[in-house]
A and B are shown apart, each in its own frame.
Chain A
């Protein structure tokens, strides 16, 4: 069966010479083609510049994305981000595509920083269980928000249970 609608999205992170990060995001589907460019300051992860352009749209009128997106300049990636961005760009008079695009740029920045840790962990793939557990423990200690964030770090996950057991044994 042929498809009636297709959407392609891509987001890319590119480090800058000044230590910041440039993020390019683009959405193209049957109705619109929208791109966002954002610059993040490191280590604060503040959005220091944001631009957007609608390259193609079936709509003759509506929000000017290039103007609206400046509202997120000054926002930092951190707690409450979704609420803040949805407050600035979403709602009945806002744009879902623009809002989610900004949030996906921010998420890509987080994943840019997550990737090296994941790559480091790959060295331990065939290591003894104790070493792999030590790595998981270090991950959770470095980022306590991981706990209960997904099935891998749920209370009944073998990873969390093994860590709890290891803690109990260390305490004896």
Chain B
């Protein structure tokens, strides 16, 4: 039997050409929290953030909602943005809010890529998806790390 389970859900809307809105939810056997944040695409800067604490363990936990405002101004392009979020939002506020922000932030480039690939496929449904993905990755060096390939089974 499963003794602990956690689910995370991230959805992203492009409000306009310059701003993306993240909706991040995390729910597990202990905690349930949600974050909405707007990020400027050009520099990855967090412009606005809101949080909801739905299930938590101490009466003090909801105070962490106010600490979320310390995330405004952090850039998801800063090489140390994740440790910064874990320190400023996690240790000084709530680790689980920080986890949601990190998960949302890791989706920034994936969402940009998805949008561009979807547009290319709409224009040409027969386009080579793998080729488009490779081209996008090569032309966007700001996307960190390498890609994963389908494992042969």
Chain A interface residues (CB < 8 Å from chain B): 1-15, 29-32, 34, 52-66, 90-98, 100, 104, 108, 111-112, 114-115, 118, 121, 136, 148-152, 154, 157-159
Contacts and interface: CB of A to CB of B under 8 A. Distances in A.
A63 B29 CA distance: 33
Nearest to A58: B133
A100 B60 CA distance: 28
B60 A4 contact: no
B9 A55 contact: no
Nearest to A109: B4
Interface in B7-51: 7-15, 23, 28-30
Nearest to A60: B130
9 contacts: A15-B1, A29-B107, A59-B147, A91-B145, A115-B3, A115-B29, A148-B91, A151-B60, A159-B58
Contacts of B117: 58
A13 B133 contact: no
A150 B130 contact: no
Given A4-B118, A152-B60, A32 B148 contact: yes
A4 B12 contact: yes
Nearest to B61: A152
B126 interface: no
A169 B113 CA distance: 60
Interface string B76-98: 00000000000000111111000
Interface in B89-147: 90-95, 103, 106-107, 110-111, 113-115, 117-118, 129-134, 137, 144-147
Contacts of A63: 146-149
A157 B60 CA distance: 7
B118 A31 contact: no
B61 to A, nearest CB: 6
Contacts of A97: 148
Contacts of A14: 1-3
A8 B151 CA distance: 20
A53 B64 CA distance: 37
Interface centre among A12, A29, A52, A152 (most CB of B within 10 A): A152
B134 A60 contact: yes
Contact of A7 (B9, B59, B91, B153): B9
A6 B10 contact: yes
A91 B59 CA distance: 39
Given A96-B106, A149-B91, A58 B151 contact: no
A94 B8 CA distance: 23
A6 B11 contact: yes
Nearest to B65: A151
A125 to B, nearest CB: 10
A64 B148 CA distance: 6
B3 A62 contact: no
A77 to B, nearest CB: 14
Contacts of A158: 59-60
B5 A13 contact: yes
A1 B28 CA distance: 27
